[in-house]
Amino acid sequence: MIPSSFTYKRAGSAQEACDLAAEYGEDAKYLAGGHSLLPLMKLRLAAPEVIIDLGGLRDLSYITDQGSHVAIGALTRHHDVEHSELLGRGVPLLASAAGQVGDPQIRHRGTIGGSIAHADPASDLPAVLLALDATLIAQGSDGSREIPIGAFFEGLFETVLEPGELLTEIRVPKPAAGARGWSFQKFTQRAIDWAIVGVAVQGRQVALVNMAGTPLRAAAVETALAGGASPADAAAHAAEGTSAASDIRASRAYREHLARVLVSRALTEAGSRG
Amino acid sequence: MKVDLTVNGKDITADVEDRMLLVHFLRDVADLTATNVGCDTTSCGACTVLLDGESVKSCTVLAAQASGHEITTVEGLASNGTMHPVQRAFHEQHGLQCGFCTPGMVMAIVSLLRENPHPTEEQVRTGLEGNLCRCTGYHNIVRAALAAAEVSS
């Protein structure tokens, strides 16, 4: 399978990438690691006329300690997030989840920014960053803006990024004392590896993978926890407010069941690490 | 568009379609046909090669993305007629039956052992989750990886 024809452009800087995206508008797509976009293009589910390759923007690959938060360049690969000592120590939820994305070959190419901007609700890292209350930095032709991750995802594969805007950095707050318990649970079919359902827990913040058109926080679970509910009692609320799909791999009812089971396991594990 | 790759130590410059995939560049332009196209959907790992020393699935990389980078295929592992330790271990441990997944398996293991020279059996099994084999049941492939690690130590 090969993608339909497109024109390939390689950006030499973030500014050049934004300028190219502004020039080509809706016809253009950014290409980071390509491990979400290229498979869609090969299946002809996506057919951008212009590809703007960000692979040369090495200065957007970094993980730095900023005191209260860790700053991660959008083009940092899953492999580098997984093996970062700083994240392993300060934000182990993210390092651990990055090490469970796809397989080693995919982690050698796929990037954290690409995963977030692609906005597939079945992807692991969008929900993980939602549980961590990350802040995203987007650069446009007129400068940069901060976007709280809770306001970033609009729908299936849709975000608030404007054509011409480029996600450049992810800022992850270091969990505070008392909120350091964490867990990442996902239920997959090994040969495919996308989560049928996944759960990320940081302290008392709980986010769900693949339970709606966007990643989402399990608000009813968080409310129950704030009211003093046990993990098992809080987890009973895991499917409230969700709108999981029924598809060839799982019915909606099965996904709702999985969400309750996995949230219970995740809260218990997070409690043991707190 | 013009691309310029180093494949198994040799510079190859070619004019290719913007949409050409790395695996097709290797097979059709560089004439290196050991790298197989399996599932063509980033699942099976048959097309695994090294890009700057790390395993990638060449069905999901554009030749244009690889321009300026170093690619190693299974043809580039042996030196002076001597098999690479991972190749030798596949031979000695009977790590293949039909052989279709083998080039990708070998390259995935070469990358795995570079990152983790002394993996446990579990780490080998997890490290090969991106490579499918429909013949062996994986046991001899895992033995080959462990044997290659032993030899290299």
Same domain, B130 and B106: yes
CA distance B120 to chain A (A): 16
Domain end, chosen from B23, B53, B76, is at B76
Same domain, B8 and B61: yes
Same domain, A45 and A77: no
Same domain, A41 and A73: no
Please answer yes or no on whether B130 and A38 come within 8 Å at the CB atom: no
Q: Which of A51, A109, A193 sits opposite B61 (nearest CB)?
A: A109
Please answer yes or no on whether A34 and B65 come within 8 Å at the CB atom: yes
d(CA B42, CA B131): 10
* Secondary structure letter of residue B62 according to DSSP: B
Helices (H), chain A: 14-24, 37-42, 78-82, 85-90, 92-98, 104-109, 112-118, 124-131, 219-226, 231-235, 252-273
ipTM, two decimals, is 0.97
> A26 has which bridge partners?
none
Q: What CATH number is associated with residue B148?
A: 1.10.150.120
Q: Which of A230, A240, A246 is nearest to A260 (CA)?
A: A240
- Quick check: A222 contacting B, CB < 8 Å? no
Identify the H or E element spanning B65: helix B63-66
Would you tell me how many other CB atoms lie within 10 Å of the CB of residue A80? Answer: 20
> A183 has which bridge partners?
A201
d(CA B13, CA B122): 41
A33-70: burial string, b at 16+ Cβ within 10 Å, e else? bbbbbbbbbbeeebebebbbbbbbbeebbebeeeeebb
Residues A234-258: pLDDT tens digits?
A: 999 999 999 999 998 899 999 999 9
Same domain, B8 and B60: yes
Domain enclosing residue A43, as ranges: 7-53
What is the pLDDT, as a whole number, of residue B133? Answer: 96
- Quick check: A47 contacting B, CB < 8 Å? no
A187-199: burial string, b at 16+ Cβ within 10 Å, e else? bbeeeebbbbbbb
Model pTM above 0.90: yes
Same domain, A159 and A67: yes
Query: Are the C-beta atoms of A167 and A176 separated by less than 8 Å?
Result: no
Q: What CATH number is associated with residue B37?
A: 3.10.20.30
d(CA A149, CA A153): 7
- Number of A/B CB contacts below 8 angstroms equals 82
Domain end, chosen from A130, A150, A173, is at A173
* Total domains present in chain A: 3
Would you tell me how many other CB atoms lie within 10 Å of the CB of residue A81? Answer: 26
Structure tokens at A186: 């996902």
Residue numbers of A between 51 and 90 with CB closer than 8 Å to B: 51, 53, 55, 79
* Total domains present in chain B: 2
Query: Distance of CA A230 to CAs A4, A12, A227, A263, Å?
Result: 53, 52, 9, 12
Domain end, chosen from B59, B76, B93, is at B76
Strands A7-10 and A50-53, by their bridges, are parallel
Q: In the sheet that A63-65 helps form, which strands lie side by side, from edge to edge?
A: A63-65, A69-73, A166-173, A135-140, A143-148
Q: In the sheet that A205-209 helps form, which strands lie side by side, from edge to edge?
A: A182-188, A195-202, A205-209, A216-217
Same domain, A80 and A164: yes
Domain end, chosen from B76, B99, B132, is at B76
Same domain, A136 and A150: yes
Structure tokens at B137: 């049941």
What is the pLDDT, as a whole number, of residue B138? Answer: 97
d(CA A219, CA A222): 5
Best of A75, A103, A123, A189 to disrupt the B interface (most B CBs within 10 Å) is A103
Query: Distance of CA A246 to CAs A96, A236, A251, A261, B3, Å?
Result: 28, 20, 4, 18, 44
Residues of chain A with pLDDT below 70 are 190-192
d(CA A212, CA A215): 7
What is the pLDDT, as a whole number, of residue B153? Answer: 67
Residues of chain B with pLDDT below 50 are none
Is A1 a member of any domain? no
Would you tell me how many other CB atoms lie within 10 Å of the CB of residue A7? Answer: 15
Structure tokens at A17: 């990438």
Domain enclosing residue B128, as ranges: 85-152
What is the pLDDT, as a whole number, of residue A192? Answer: 63
Same domain, B120 and B61: no
Angle at A145 between CA A142 and CA A146, to 5 degrees: 175
d(CA A37, CA A15): 22
d(CA B153, CA B147): 10
Please answer yes or no on whether A105 and B57 come within 8 Å at the CB atom: yes
Same domain, A186 and A167: no
Q: What CATH number is associated with residue A194?
A: 3.30.390.50
Same domain, A66 and A163: yes
